[in-house]
Each structure stands twice: as C-alpha cells, then as structure tokens.
Structure 1
Amino acid sequence: MKVVYLNPIGEMGGAEVALLNVLASLRDAKPHWKLHLVVSAEGSLAAKATSLGVTSHILQFPASLTRLGDASAGGPAGDSVGRLALLRQLLLASFGIAVYVSKLRKLLRQLNPDIIHTNGFKMHLLGAMAKRRDVPLIWHVHDYVHSRPVMARLMRLFRRRCAIALANSNSVREDMRATCGDLLPVQTLYNGVDTTVFSPHGPSLDLDSLAGLPPTDQNTVKVGLIATFGRWKGHHTFLRALSLLSADLSVRGYVIGGGLYGTDGSQYSKDELKALARDLGISDRVGFTDFVAEPAAAMRALDIVVHASTEPEPFGLVIAEGMACGRALIASAAGGATEIIDPEVNALSHSPGDAARLAEQIVSLASNVELRQRLGQAGRATVQERFNRERLVKELAPIYSKLVQIEGKQSDTRVGAARPKSDDASINGSPGVAKTSGRFDSDRVRGLDSLRFVCAMWVVFVHCGFFPLLDHVDKTKFAGKLFAGLYNNAFNASAAVIVFFVISGFCINFPYAKGRPLHPKSYFTRRYIRIITPMMVAILLARPLNIKLTLLSDSILWSLLAEEIYYVIYPLLLLTSRRIGWTKILVVAFVFSVGVILTNPGAGDYPSYGPQLNWLLGLPCWLLGCLLAQRVSSATASSVATASIWGWRMAAWGLSSFCSFLRFHSPVKHPWTLNLFAIFVYFWLTRETAYYKQHKAPSVLEHAGKWSYSIYLMHLHGQAMFVLLAFAPFAAGMNWMINIAFVLLVSYTFYLIVERPSHLFARRIAHKLLRPSLGQTQNTLSETVPERVADLTF
C-alpha cells in the first residue's frame, strides 16, 4: 500500500500533530506500507515525518497562494478582509494555483499512490484538482467549513472528486454533511494522542525564562493558554479573564504559541496581544513564550491548562493533550470539545467568549489543589481509553483497504456521471482563432480584430446575462411586452459565431490568396499549438468549476472543433480552388449544408446535428471568408463612407436579432437562417475591409480583439468564479458591470498566461520548420516564400 499525504503548511499546528500521530500509528503497525508526505514549505513537520520513516517532499506554495484564504472574510477569524480584497487575492493567486496544480499532478504521477490523504482545506481542493480519477481521495477535515464563505462552496463543488471525508469529531462530521450533502460519505475519526509523550512524567520547560519574566515562587499557580495565534483561539478572552482575577491571588498566566498561518488577517500578532495585556494592566502577570517545540513539556510546567476558543472547536487537540499530561483543564464548551470533556468530572468548562466565567473557574482551581489533582487523573484516564494513538491504525487501515479495492470504479462513476444537455439556443459560438492584424506584403487588414472583440462580447452578454433593463418594465402592457421582446433578442451569440467563421476563413486564406505556397509542417504546427494548448487548459480549468466544456458535445467548443476540421481540409480546398475557384466549392458546400439540415429540419441550432455534421453545416460560412480573402487581395479598395458602414453594422445587428426572434418564435430555426445571414456578413465585411483601408481602427478594440479567443474560452469560468464569490453588494446594474469586468479580467489573465505564450511558441516552432525549405524548389503547396508569411494569420 502506498499512501501520499498532502499538507498545506510546513510548521506544526493541531492538524499537523494529528497527521503525525496518524503517520506514527501506521508506521508502527504497517511497516511495509510506503508513506509519502507532501508539504508546501520547509519546516518541522517534514523533519518529524522523516524521523518516522516517511518520505517527505517539499512542493513550495507560491506566496499568493499562501496568503489566500477566506477565514477572515466572514469566516472564523471575523470579517477583517472584505469580499473585494478576497476577490483581488483570488485573482492574484489564480496563476500560482494553476502552476502548483500542474506541479502537484506531475509529482503524484511519479509517486503513483494507491490513496491520497489530504489534511487541510487548500490541499483538499488542490488534491482534488491534481489527482487521477482512479486514485481514491480522502479529505481529513479538522475544521468547520460552513462558516467559510468561499471554501464551503468549493468543497461542495469538488465533493465528487473525494471518496470519503474523515471528520475529527461528530460535530465536524455533521457540519460536513450539511455542507456537502449525501453525495459524500463522512466518517468520524477522533484525533489520537501519544500518551507516552503527553504524560504527567517528564521534563518541563522554564516558562518564565522563555517569556523573559522573573522566576515565580513555589506557591504561584501557573495558568497557560497553548494555541496558535488564530483569532478564534480565545486569546482576548484569556487575557481579559486574567485581568479580572484578584491581585491577592497568586496566579501567573502564559500565552504559549505563535503565528502559524500565512493567510492574511487570520491571526493575531504577538505585538497585538502584548498591547492588549498592557491595556488591561496585566503585563507583569502574563508572559509570552512564542512557539515551543515540546508542548508536552510546556503543559507539565503548568498547573492549569486553558482552552478558550471563541468559536466551536472542531476537536480541541490541546484539550486531550492537556488531559493526557494529567493537568487540570478548563475548556470552552462548544463543538467537538464537548465530545472530550465531562464537566466537573474530567475538566471544568465555560461558555465561548465568557471571560468572567473563565476567571471564576481559574479561581476555583487555583485555590483547590485536590480538585486539580482529581480532574487531572480523570482526564488522563479518558485519553488513555478513548483517544490513544494506537487505535488510529485500527480505524484507518480498513478504510484504506476498502477504497483500494472498490473506490476506483465508484470514483470514475461519480466523476464521469453524465450531465443533462443544455437546450440553450445561444450558447454556441467561436471567436475564431486567427489574428487578423498581420501584414501581407505591404497591406494590413485592419478592423477585423475590433469586430472579433465585439462578437466575443455578444457571446459574453448572452451567457453571463444582459444588463438588467427589464427589472422595472411592466410586461403586462403592450409597450413593456414589446420592449422586453426586442431586448431579449438583441444579442444573438450564434450569429456572432457565424461572423467568427467568416473572419476565420478570411484569415486562413488571405496569406495564400495571391498564389503564395503553403508549407504543411509550418501550417499545421502553428494552427494546432496555437489553438489546442489554450483549449486544453480551459477544459482542465472547467472541471473543478463544474462547467460543461468538452469537444464532442454541444458545449461552446463545438465551433472550435468545426474550425479544426476546416484547418485540416484547407490545404486540399486551396489546391482545388486554384483549379475550379472558390465559388464552385462554395456552391457545393451550400448544397451539402441543406442536406444536413434536412436530416433534422426542426433542429434549433448547429450543435443539434452532432460533431459529425455540424462542421459541414457551418462550412459555407467559413468558405465565404476564404472567398472574401480572395476578393480583397485582388480588388482595388473602394471608398466607403462612415455613415454607410454604420448602416451595414446596424443592419447586421438587426438581422442577427431577427434570426434570434425566428429561432424562438417560429419553426424557422438557426440552421435555416444563419447560413443565409453569412452571405450578408460576406458583403458587410467586404465593406469593413475597404473602410479600414482608409480609416484608422480603434486601437483599444484592435488590442482587445487579440485576446477574443481567451474571452470565448474563459468567460464561463469567470462567470462561475464570480458566482462562487457571491459578490453582489450594489444595485443590480452595478453588480452586472462588476461581473462583466471580472469575466474580462479572468480572460485577459488567461491570455497573458496561456494563449499568448502558446501563440509565440507556435510561431517559433513554425519558423524553425519553415527555414529548411527556403530556397528550394518544391510543388505548388511548398514553393519558396518569404519567412514572414508564417506570421500572417496569428
């Protein structure tokens, strides 16, 4: 059995101690098992795991991912981080997350585990994204998730990738069930304590020296809070309780621990807590020791161990460890802590955040040695019976074995479950993938990139929602009904796809329209590296967001698959066109498209015909672009007035809206109308190209058109991420604009990180393939051409 454990931090916290106990228990009972630990940073956790015989791997988190977290955005650490700040963190971390998942996936493939066991929220999600489908994933949950505004949604989103969740208490188990529903099995696995280390007998620390305080006398009762500096750990409550104690009571308090997490806003600083102690007037009665490597020795130096979490404690490992050390304990009675303590029997309790009651309990124990001894003895007996470390392997090993036997098929069934097909008439569109602003000889085709961006935004408006103009329109009246009907058909994404098809055919054929040769190796290399790389990344990113994005389906990728087919057959079409002309090929394509329509005359959209036929249905539109390139390259530019071109643009908008109206309110659907619309687009674009030979194209739109492919690929991702953030603090119109801006930001980030590098890489490879053929006499499709021809269409 090979098990890989993933942990999001490198230092020791409660979850890390629990993980080490699991590793130790398995190593003792199953020495032949191969155990690997992957941590995100150097630290004591990896060193301790290595000492147990576990192979440790350091896979460093990027800084943006380390800081990312929602604990302080309405979670257990309060709301010191706003939703906008969290959104900014998420955007900054998005690239780092993608890179880290890629590295983690590679490492997991190398390790080839039978089980992946994750031990923290970030690793739960990263492990779900990086794992193979046939490897069972176990989430070991040590915290409540329902209070996390983003994490709860993401856990619910990724639950199908997880085989089982292990909760460290019944309280956490019920929280996970409420969050993830019945699809994810959840089982309680209480944390374990090494009772040989956490024992009443052994060395103790000099806490006064560590805290920089003068030594106390023998009669002073030492009371300590041992915890990380997490804001929900109750440091304020503990310090306020100490301030309520009588000056005559010989008690000294200790804050033992330090900062652990890198997440912004999730924890106190030591300076904050010292400042609070000064404000409360107890600087001389409380010491701060910082992190201690031996918490058992720190506990043995105390007379009373305090647990003061202000939020329900998922388990409360420090409670069990303090009891194992035979120390009197006061616990915050909420959450998993109530499953450990029996008030007045093995511990005392107080309500979360109740400093006055905590102070009373401290007084009770400080003034009663016998009570401290009795509670300490009962507490240790409880831990030895219910929370000893040896029981972990007895409960965990059967889970591992069962998952290895059966989880492979079950996991594939859950992850690969079929999703209902969408019947949305307007989700089909492709922005084309050819960049239109390259040079051919001395000519430059300006303006088409601007149109590509506008068409891409048409698709975004349809999928992400129109501006909410209809919220206050009375649709019971004729005027309101008419306005709503016009507005609902104002944007037709499928018509935008037709424009993309025509532009794509134009871009592919334009370099060769005057008889220039085509180099097959360079041509195919550029097309498919440039197109497929971003598309595959988009498909991978879609999976964790539950976005339907597959090639052989009616997802938005149907048009890209069609274009890939056009690119494959283009060299043959080019040869044929040089013998019989593009017009005859176009006529044949229209005849075939009508034949395709007749196979299903009532179909609403192109994808209804499936990947085998929809490319044939759209082929005439693409060929119209090839014909347009031939005409533009050979014709002299005619003058087109600004008023005239705007008339054509408005006519294009009106016709696309009319096609949408027919699609939803008549038997005449898109397959019948949009190929005819493409003929109009042909004549319209003829005038656009002529217009921009005489006028300057808008620089902003021209630049935006370069990343319209990324807009098309990633707009659904951006929308899904925005929905997960549940960010809607303003009026509907402002929220819509923020939504669209977020989608564009996600798309542009994708362009910079994925699309543009793949474009440049494709260009370099194509140039290398092109150079050997320069200066050689070859056949019609591979004669000598200037190297710059390879840069025309992208």
Structure 2
Amino acid sequence: MKRQETTETALFVSQTAEKGGAELFMLDLITHGPAGWNGGFFADGTIVQDLAAAGCKPVVLSGGSSVLTVRREASALKLVSVAGGVVTLARALARAAKDYDVVCANSQKALFVSALATRLARRPLVWVLHDIITDPAFSRNTRRAAVLFANLFAARVVANSRASAEAFVAAGGKADRVRIVYCGFDPAAHPQGDAETGAALRRRFGLKDGPVVGLFGRLTPWKGQHVLLKALRGVPDVQALIVGSAMFGQDAYEVELRQMVRTEGLEGRVCFAGFQKDVAALMAGVDIVVHTSTHAEPFGRVVVEGMLAGRPVIATSGGGVNEIVTEGEDGLLVSPDDPAALAAAISRLLADPDLAARLAAAGRISAARRFHIDKTCGDMRAVLAEVR
C-alpha cells in the first residue's frame, strides 16, 4: 500500500521492536499513515525489519539495555538505578527528534525517555497509552511516575479505549488532554475461512476432524490460556489450537500449561503451535476464536482480528473488550477466569450453527466499520494537528 505524501512528520517511539499489541498498533499506523511517520526503538527487532521492508527508515537508539530491564512492578530503587540510561537514551532521541514535528511515546518506558528528549529538542510530546494504568500489575511508583510525566510533559494522551482513558484520569491524569484512538486494522488482510481452510488447518497441525477453538496471543498467565484448558473438560469433543509463544521471562508458564494438558487428560486435544506469522489465516481456519484474559484488557486486538476473520468470537468481558463486542449481537461475552462459563459458551455456539453464523457475520461488519486502519490514521492525524 502506497503511503500518503504529506509534509507532516512524527516519530513514534517504543522501547521494544518485538511484536506485542502496542508495537503492532504502531506498525499498522506507520505503514498505513503519512509518509512522514516513522518509528524509533531502544533496540533492534522484528518491527524494525518490517518497517524497513515497507520503505521506512526506522531509528534504532543505542544504550537502552538498562531501561529495558524495568518491569511494571518495579520499585522506586529500581527506577532510580536506570536514571543514567534514561538520560543517555534521551540525548540520542533528542538528536533524532529534531527531524520531526512531533514525538509520540508508544509505551511507558518510551514516555520517560521521550519526555526528556522533547524538552531538549523543543518538540511537542504525545503519549500513546496502551494500558489500564490502575491495574494492580503496575506498581504504585510506576503508575505515579507515568501520570506525573504525562501531566508535566505530554501535550496530549492518546488512549486506546475509553477504559484506558478513564483509568488514566482516575489515577490523576489531566482529562482535557486525553483523546481516544482505537487500534486500526486492514480488513483486506484478514481472509474469510471456508470448509477447505478448516481442513487445511487440521492437516497442518495434526488435528482430528471435529470442532477446533483457537486462542491467539503470547503465553502469559493474565492472557488465560489455562482457563481454556480447564474449560475443555466441559466440552469433551472440542480441540484447541493455542497460537503464541512465551515472552518476557514467561517460559515457566508454558511448562505449566503443558503439564496441565497431561494432568487434565487433554493429550491429543491441544496443539501448542508457538509463534506463527500467518495468524489471520489461522483464525480463518478455526471454528471459534476465544479470548480468555483473566482481567480487563486495555483494548483487545485479538477480539477484533477474530471478528474480521468472520469467526464467531467468545471474549472475556471488561475493559476495552466491552467497547468491541456487544453481547449476543456480534459476539459472546463471559466472565473473566470462569472456565465453566467459557465451556457453556462454546457448547452454545456448537449446538446452534445459525447463531454462530449470525454472530460471525455481524462481527465482521462491525469490526471493519469501527476499527478500520484508515479511521485510526485519520484520528491520529487530528490529534497531532492539535499539538503541531
């Protein structure tokens, strides 16, 4: 897709170039937005390569290793210990930022570095918030620091959902600076499945004939892969395709999941596919896409992707997911961390093919209309125009 030629420029900054939800948002935005939008990273990675393949010249900063070690639950002492690395990165980013009209920090770590860099470079700062900042996963120190930096340095805070926006304000963020820009998708990149697509998926992963539910996302406890495994006890004829790999030190959780398959007697019914590049095609091949996060999602990319694939979607209620799915109209919602409710929802769709087809068709239409990448780029351009 040819990018639109404009004079506006913006540098979107992320601490990692690996493919998480925030980074995919950034990749989609840059590759579909104006030619003057580019990405900057604290380390090399697959997103850098993807941007380069799309004709961009992403900026990779050196010296970011210490900052990358800080986790959400970090203590005040840990935050202070990486201050030197933040300053080093900020100086490097300031030099790069002078070539752009606006700097957009795409993560919390990027916010801290970009706040200092934009002061040095005399450029406006926008923070793209991809988290429900009041979530217990964030330490009090990290949350306070993020809100403080946003209030002091960010001209605008772009939240990826109303849920994220409301949490930011509840934590003390300035409401008048908040704008909502949902994640955007290209419907053309999400093929529709048919019987042969499903048969091909079963052959590829050694699955048997019969219903297959798909769960897509990195392997981590809060994404709830264990909830699906427990739910399978209530739907004995159903197989599960779990796509995704462990990241950020979550390898022990993958070991736990594989052990659970054995202890629950699920051998032969669960396939761990690992990381896969063709997720859209795999979604089109399963019978149902499930989302099993154990607490509120800031947005819920996989839910929209499942809808765009024309598959019936069952999702955990709460957070941004409630802004995507309307219960009984374009998907089904279940309570978080509730295997029995998930099993009941799966059984309901399998027992009522007409309902499944109706939800799938409505979901595709709704997702394509409300979360199209062109709308996301337009909404982001409007925000940047406010601060230029």
Structure 2 match to 1:235: 225
Q: Cα gap change, 1:272/1:100 in structure 2, threshold over 3 Å: closer, same or farther?
A: farther
Which residue does the alignment assign to 1:594?
none
Q: CA 1:346–1:215 in structure 2 vs 1: closer, same or farther (change >3 Å)? A: same
Kindly state the Cα deviation for residue 224 of structure 1 after the two structures are TM-superposed: 1.1
Task: Provide the rounded CA distance (Å) in 2 between the counterparts of 1:268 and 1:391.
Answer: 40
Q: How far apart are 1:363 and its partner, in Å?
A: 1.1
C-alpha deviation, 1:318, in angstroms? 0.8
* Aligned partner (choices 136, 139, 142) of residue 151 of structure 1: 142
Question: What does 1:87-486 correspond to in 2, within 5 Å?
Answer: 89-90=78-79, 93-109=82-98, 112-132=99-119, 134-147=122-135, 148-149=138-139, 150-159=141-150, 160-182=152-174, 185-200=177-192, 207=201, 214-217=206-209, 220-246=210-236, 249=237, 251-260=238-247, 262=248, 269-404=253-388
5+ residue gaps in structure 2?
Answer: 1-7
The AA in structure 2 aligned to 1:99 is T
- 1:64 maps to what in 2? 66
- 2:87, 2:116 within 8 Å by CA — same for their partners in 1? no
- Write out per-residue CA displacement over residues 450-481 of structure 1, whole angstroms, 9 at most, x where no aligned residue: xxxxxxxxxxxxxxxxxxxxxxxxxxxxxxxx
What per-residue deviation string (whole Å, max 9, x for no partner) do you get for residues 406-455 of structure 1? xxxxxxxxxxxxxxxxxxxxxxxxxxxxxxxxxxxxxxxxxxxxxxxxxx
| 1-structure distance, mates of 2:335, 2:271 | 24
Q: Cα deviations across residues 604-642 of structure 1 (Å, max 9, x unaligned)?
A: xxxxxxxxxxxxxxxxxxxxxxxxxxxxxxxxxxxxxxx
Contact 1:210–1:289, Cα closer than 8 Å, also in 2: no
Aligned-residue offset at 1:36: 2.0
Residues 154 and 365 of structure 1, relative CA distance in 2, 3 Å threshold: same
Residue matched to 2:23 = 16
Q: Would you say the 8 A contact 2:224–2:292 is kept in 1?
A: yes
User: Does the 8 Å contact 2:43/2:64 carry over to 1?
Assistant: no
Q: Secondary structure of the residue that 1:308 maps to in structure 2? A: coil
* Cα distance change on mapping 1:135 and 1:349 into 2, 3 Å: same
TM-score, structure 2 length as denominator? 0.89
**Taking structure 1 as reference, are residues 142 and 216 closer, same or farther at Cα in structure 2, changes over 3 Å only?**
same
Q: What is the identity, as a one-letter code, of the residue corresponding to 1:222?
A: V
Give 1:370 shift: 2.1
Distance 2:378 2:38 in 1: 20
- The DSSP-based 3-state class of the residue aligned with 1:196 is helix
| Structure 1 unaligned blocks of 5 or more | 28-32, 74-82, 405-794
Rate the CA distance shift 1:88–1:274 in 2: closer, same or farther, 3 A.
Answer: farther
Q: CA deviation at 1:210?
A: 6.4
For 1:143 and 1:180, the matched residues in 2 are separated by: 15
Match of residue 708 from structure 1: none
Alignment partners' CA distance in 1, 2:340 and 2:24: 31
Q: 1:209/1:99 Cα in 2 relative to 1: closer, same or farther (>3 Å)?
A: farther
Structure 1 residues 101 and 305, CA, compared in 2 at 3 Å: closer, same or farther? Answer: same
Report the Cα offset of residue 143 of structure 1: 1.0
Q: Give the TM-score of the pair, scaled to structure 1.
A: 0.45
Post-superposition offset of 1:204: 5.4
What is the letter of the counterpart of residue 178 of structure 1?
A
Write out per-residue CA displacement over residues 58-89 of structure 1, whole angstroms, 9 at most, x where no aligned residue. Answer: 2256443222112xx3xxxxxxxxx7xx4664
1:621-640 matches, within 5 Å, as none
C-alpha contact 2:191 2:281 (8 A) present in aligned 1: no
Preserved contact between residue 221 and residue 253 of structure 2 (Cα < 8 Å): no
SS at the partner of 2:272? strand
Q: How many residue pairs were aligned?
A: 374
Alignment-mate amino acid for residue 137 of structure 1: L
User: Do 1:231 and 1:268's aligned partners in 2 also have CA atoms closer than 8 Å?
Assistant: no
Equivalent positions of 1:73-84 (< 5 A) are 73=73
Q: 1:60 to 1:277 in 2, by over 3 A?
A: farther
The one-letter amino acid paired with 2:215 is: L
Query: Which secondary structure state, in structure 2, belongs to the residue aligned with residue 396 of structure 1?
Result: helix
Counterparts of 1:272 and 1:117, CA distance in 2: 38
Q: Which has the higher contact order (CA 8 A, sep 6+)?
A: 2
Percentage identity across aligned positions?
28
Instruction: Write the letter of the residue equivalent to 1:46.
Output: V
Q: CA deviation at 1:91?
A: 5.5
Aligned to 2:40: 38
8 Å CA contact 2:213–2:289 kept in 1: the answer is yes
Q: Which has the higher helix share?
A: 1
The answer to whether the 8 Å contact 1:204/1:299 transfers is no
Deviation at 1:356, TM superposition (A): 0.6
Distance in 2 separating the partners of 1:304 and 1:201: 11
For 1:9, what is the secondary structure of its paired residue? coil
Q: Give CA deviations for 1:512-564 in whole Å, capped at 9, x if unaligned.
A: xxxxxxxxxxxxxxxxxxxxxxxxxxxxxxxxxxxxxxxxxxxxxxxxxxxxx
Change (3 A) 1:207 1:403: same
Q: Which residue of 1 aligns with 2:49?
A: 47
Q: Distance in 2 between matches of 1:35 and 1:102?
A: 21
Deviation, 1:14, is 1.5
CA shift, 1:105, in A, is 2.7
- Secondary structure of the residue aligned to 1:200 is coil
* Cα displacement (A) at 1:366: 2.3
Checking the alignment, whether the CA contact within 8 Å between 1:24 and 1:52 is kept in structure 2 is yes
- Tell me the distance in 1 between the aligned counterparts of 2:175 and 2:158: 14
Q: Partners in 2 of 1:181 and 1:38 — Cα distance?
A: 25
Larger radius of gyration: 1
